[in-house]
Amino acid sequence: MLIKIPRGWEMPERDATPESVFLNRRAILAAAGLGAASGVLQAAAETNPFAAPRNAKFTLDRDVTPEWAATGFNNFYEFHPTDKQAVRHNVGKYVTSPWAIEITGLVEKPFTLDLDDLQKKFTLEERLYRFRCVEAWAMAVPWVGFPMAELVKLAKPKPEAKFMRFVTAMKKDQMPGLGMAPWYPWPYFEGLRIDEAANPLALVVTGMYGKVLPKQNGAPVRVIVPWKYGYKNPKAIVKIEFTTAQPSTFWNKTIPAEYGFYSNVNPAKPHPRWSQATEKLLPDMRVVATQRYNGYERFVEGLYDGKEF
């Protein structure tokens, strides 16, 4: 993973338009169950579940990153393993509905959640979170989702369950990056301790910027744990397994000397190949100091004895 300074940030308006037209059309159809008619627009605005109420507990010390930047500079190796600005152009064939998430392993009774279940069983809210990639770029995003603690509660883990293992989609015909980088241990997989997942900060995310989650940002469902480096936030989740043993993770398996299990943001612990003391904010790459636990220390310090980085 090498930091690449983005170029060509000026996105012409014509590039942005088709997505917003598409998203509006989806919201209208979802709200009305039928095609566009003028009165339906109002109904869509009122029932768009991604325009969720903002949780005022989570505030920022920086501006929200412009939407075009957060959705135009992505790490999603399944679609392009090296070019972050190509990802959004490579998601055209990716089908995100219907979708099923298997909840399995050491739970009272394994079950499956579909997209409808995610809407009905959980209450969506919006949260402004800082996001810090291990490559030292950062952003601030209004995510829409629900606390992962709610999912843990629904899953009813057995007492011997200590960890959650996340497995993500691997669709060879829809994800061109898989063929470009066959040496990686696909599908992408990650893990958290259950008490980390149940920490109030951990979110299951289905939307951003008041809209359905864009494909390039991990549609239809991803994890956001903002006190950890970006790679601990798996996208396109299809399976969550409860385990006793600490699960292996994609980046730890690929480069164990560089990427550990906890991966909590720590400016005092350099990556073997670069400093982590500062970060560059999308899109202008202004440099700011990196904060311990990405600024979320007071929320998470109870989880750790100070050595888990």
Where along the sequence are the contacts to ligand MTE (CB under 6 A)?
A: 74-78, 133, 168, 188, 217-218, 230-231, 233-236
Range list of β-strands (E), 58-195:
100-105, 111-114, 125-132, 137-147, 163-168, 189-193
CB of 300 to ligand MTE, least distance (A): 19
Taking the least distance from each CB to ligand MTE, the nearer of 31 and 168 is 168
How far are the Cα atoms of 19, 29, 94, 293 from residue 226, in angstroms, in the given order?
27, 33, 26, 8
In whole angstroms, what separates CA 244 from the centre of its chain?
A: 24
Residues 6 or more apart in contact with residue 32 via CB below 8 angstroms: 40, 43, 44
Selection from 265, 266, 261, 264 nearest residue 250 by Cα: 261
CB of 194 to ligand MTE, least distance (A): 20
Query: Cβ-closest residue to ligand MTE?
Result: 230
- Collapsing DSSP to helix, strand or coil, 240 comes out as strand
Structure tokens at 190: 């990650």
Taking the least distance from each CB to ligand MTE, the nearer of 78 and 106 is 78
CB of 103 to ligand MTE, least distance (A): 18
Taking the least distance from each CB to ligand MTE, the nearer of 243 and 263 is 263
Is the CB of residue 207 less than 8 Å from the CB of residue 219? no
Counting Cα atoms < 13 Å in the Cβ hemisphere of 80 gives 18
In whole angstroms, what separates CA 123 from the centre of its chain?
A: 18
CB of 19 to ligand MTE, least distance (A): 15
CB of 68 to ligand MTE, least distance (A): 13
CB of 169 to ligand MTE, least distance (A): 7
Name the pairing type of β-strands 189-193 and 163-168.
Answer: antiparallel
Taking the least distance from each CB to ligand MTE, the nearer of 77 and 146 is 77
Give residue 249's identity as a one-letter amino acid code.
Answer: T
Place of tokens 């790679």: 231
Taking the least distance from each CB to ligand MTE, the nearer of 99 and 188 is 188
Taking the least distance from each CB to ligand MTE, the nearer of 184 and 299 is 184
Counting Cα atoms < 13 Å in the Cβ hemisphere of 212 gives 22
DSSP class of residue 223 equals E
CB of 269 to ligand MTE, least distance (A): 18
CA distance 166 to 171: 16
Taking the least distance from each CB to ligand MTE, the nearer of 156 and 171 is 171
Taking the least distance from each CB to ligand MTE, the nearer of 157 and 187 is 187
CB of 248 to ligand MTE, least distance (A): 15
CA distance 80 to 2: 14
